Structure 1
Amino acid sequence: MIRNSRRRTEPLDHAELARLLPAPADPQLAASRQDLLEEHLMSEIHRPDHAPAASPVRRPLRRTVLFAAPVAAAAALAVVVSLSNSAGTIASPKPVKAPVVQIEEGSTVQLASTVHAIAAAATARTTPQPGPGQYIYIKSQVSFMATRHNADTGESVTWVQPLHDREVWKSPDGTKGWLDEPGYQDKGGITLDTNEPRKQLSYTWLAAQPADPDAFLKSVYSTVSGTRDHDQQAFNEIGSIIREQLVPSGLAASLYEAAGKIPGVVVVEHAQDASGRDGIALARLDPQTGERSEWIFDRDSHQYLGSRGVQVREVNGVKPGTVVERTTILTRAVVDAKNRRPGAGQATA
């Protein structure tokens, strides 16, 4: 018998987790998933000792494994579940079966003109500049993947989180922040304060970058490392900036023009964000995971709408056409304090 396992809530110990997970193919995670894993780890670390214990969860059978990200995340995930054992767990919403879409082939035929239109639109848009003590606020709706694998039958079922709100506050230098993701973090949110921010994702770092696309792309490549495809890492880094950061107006055009220069980037004519809005996408297929990351833009205004991850080639039992990630941007603004939401007259982007 196979019992459903829940993402991030099963109290596995380190030894059992090591037995369950196969040897990792690569030690690197996509930047967006690494950020989510790190933020969840922060939520467990900052959970108060007097927090009420969640309802007990059933221990899964040893032959049922839940993958919340590429299996190379085992070490970090082991820390998370270990902390969950001592501090209680969050009763996250039950995952739903991942949607499946028809895979549309990407093309480079319209790449230059599409990138030019997106860059021009980004330049024309007014972007607020955060001042001392202010925070960059991003509200989005997101859904990420968790895959259940039955080692007895070799079958895998891909589940995703129900679409839910996610609000992030970040100081310009990246040292202070707050995350509120109901159902997946403590009630009211968790701190993202850190003494070691990922500087390449901060507004301050971006504001200091050269406006020349080639020079900016070289700067992005300098932040990646390891044996994993560096082109994919660069694409992921820029994608993380677009998804949950405010891009300085003087750099906006260069950022997109730089992305268009990354080998393997294509245009997908039809892609839907998490809200179901159809747009045109800049995309790249990760040769190792088989997942194509898509940045989706409004077809007319070329404003960024959200992102989608589509499995193009079967890897670890995830079938082609499976939508493993969906996001949509609702609000992007500058606010005066952490935990404060934009109100009337507040600068938005």
Structure 2
Amino acid sequence: MIRNSRRRTEPLDHAELARLLPAPADPRLAADRQDLLEEHLMSEIHQSDQVPATSPVRRPLRRTVLVVASVAAVAALAVAVSVGSPADTSTVAAPQLVKAPVVQIEEGSTVQLASTVHAIAAAATAHTTPQPGPGQFIYIKSRVSFMASSLNADTGESATWVQPLHDREVWKSPDGTKGWLDEPGYQSKGGITLDNDEPRKQLSYQWLAAQPADPDALLKAVYSTVSGSRDHDQQAFNEIGSIIREQLVPSALAASLYEAVGRIPGVVVVEHAQDASGRDGIALARLDPQTGERSEWIFDRESHQYLGSRGVQVKEFNGVKPGTVVERTSIVTRAVVDAKNQRPGAGQATS
């Protein structure tokens, strides 16, 4: 199931970078993570009979707790949602959820923040980023796992479950109008289209490449988009995070984004954090004061290249205990390929 992006698509006036990023889509998730999880919703519903006995319902669309009266009510809900929708026989049942990992919470610090940000930005500047040409596609392969939690109203028991780690491959045209997603076990066999009839300049490579690489201007643009009662600093942190995931960011802009992040209040350095592939690195992180989740962007300790992300519950929220890893990602490959559905091979540029 694919949903149209909620991101705005108006072109950006370079004199005022007011539309650099979309407004947050959900009080629990950044916009990019909500988009990822929306794609899993229907496949999760179709395999509701696989839910563990202590977990009466899964809600991959949002990381919130849904209280239900009984397991029978869940079955009724799944049937109700499915009514009127033809069965997709090409969709395979997603693997059964597993218990979420729990880690020891390491306290973050601002002592090394400036030097760490500087090192990450310098590494981004020095890193050669391949430039996609006309007709080519940006290819990104990652390992991902997201969370769903539940509360059984009959027993009062709560549980936190996550998807098993699995591969996710995305192809995107530089202008954002064409694309493909292949996520075995969570999408139709062979993948699904991400084509969009209208140009999606928001977060496309071409759109990003046209932005001035100035940390102050970028940060001002980010804050101009935040609204509502949620913590504005957290919104700004999340929105910058949505750029560096599943996109090829030009080197100069990536460096400016990291410099901008270092100026957001509440951002800290976590000395040890593991991505979805088990790689230990150093993280730029921020604790959401409303949800108690700390979002961590993990970088290689030596090269300072981006490895992936992790979400760790630091304070209990909606029954999710401290130390619970609520999401994990890791970048396996970033590359430029010559066609949609093509994987990197000899002679093709990788990042």
- Shorter-chain TM-score bucket reads 0.7 to 0.9
Listed one character per residue, the Cα deviations across residues 40-99 of structure 1 (whole Å, up to 9, x for unaligned) are 47x88xxxxxxxxx78947999x93323223499xxx99x94479532464100111111
Q: Give the aligned residue type for 1:289.
A: T
- 1:27 and 1:72 in contact (8 A); partners too: no
Q: Give the aligned residue type for 1:319.
A: K
Q: Give the aligned residue type for 2:213.
A: A
Q: Give the aligned residue type for 1:253.
A: A
What's 2:35 paired with?
35
Give secondary structure in 2 for the equivalent of 1:241: helix
Give secondary structure in 2 for the equivalent of 1:200: coil
What's 1:20 paired with?
none
Distance, in Å, in 1 between the alignment partners of 2:59 and 2:40 is 15
Matches within 5 A, 1:259-278: 259-278=261-280
Match of 2:156 among 154, 157, 166: 154
Listed one character per residue, the Cα deviations across residues 248-293 of structure 1 (whole Å, up to 9, x for unaligned) are 1221210110111112111000001111111100001111221111
- 2:269 and 2:282 in contact (8 A); partners too: yes
> Offset of 1:211 from its aligned partner?
0.9
Equivalenced residue count is 313
> Offset of 1:220 from its aligned partner?
2.6
Name the stretch that deviates more: 327-336 or 201-210.
201-210
Distance, in Å, in 2 between the alignment partners of 1:283 and 1:129 is 29
Distance, in Å, in 2 between the alignment partners of 1:157 and 1:164 is 21
> Offset of 1:39 from its aligned partner?
3.3
> Offset of 1:119 from its aligned partner?
0.4
> Offset of 1:223 from its aligned partner?
3.8
What's 2:63 paired with?
70
> Offset of 1:183 from its aligned partner?
0.3
Query: TM-score scaled by structure 1?
Result: 0.81
What's 1:321 paired with?
323
Shift of the 117–56 alpha-carbon distance from structure 1 to 2, 3 Å rule, reads closer
What's 2:256 paired with?
254
Q: CA RMSD in A?
A: 3.0
Give secondary structure in 2 for the equivalent of 1:328: strand
Q: Which runs of 5+ in 2 are unaligned?
A: 2-25, 67-76
Q: Which runs of 5+ in 1 are unaligned?
A: 1-7, 9-25, 45-53
- 1:286 and 1:292 in contact (8 A); partners too: yes
Give secondary structure in 2 for the equivalent of 1:66: coil
Seq. identity, %: 82
What's 2:22 paired with?
none
Give secondary structure in 2 for the equivalent of 1:236: helix
- 2:149 and 2:158 in contact (8 A); partners too: yes
Distance, in Å, in 1 between the alignment partners of 2:287 and 2:135 is 39
- 1:119 and 1:256 in contact (8 A); partners too: yes
> Offset of 1:228 from its aligned partner?
2.3
- 1:39 and 1:192 in contact (8 A); partners too: no
- 2:182 and 2:190 in contact (8 A); partners too: yes
Give secondary structure in 1 for the equivalent of 2:326: strand
Query: TM-score scaled by structure 2?
Result: 0.81
Distance, in Å, in 2 between the alignment partners of 1:280 and 1:141 is 19
Give secondary structure in 1 for the equivalent of 2:312: strand
Shift of the 58–125 alpha-carbon distance from structure 1 to 2, 3 Å rule, reads closer
What's 2:101 paired with?
99
Distance, in Å, in 2 between the alignment partners of 1:299 and 1:228 is 32
Matches within 5 A, 1:110-189: 110-189=112-191
What's 1:16 paired with?
none
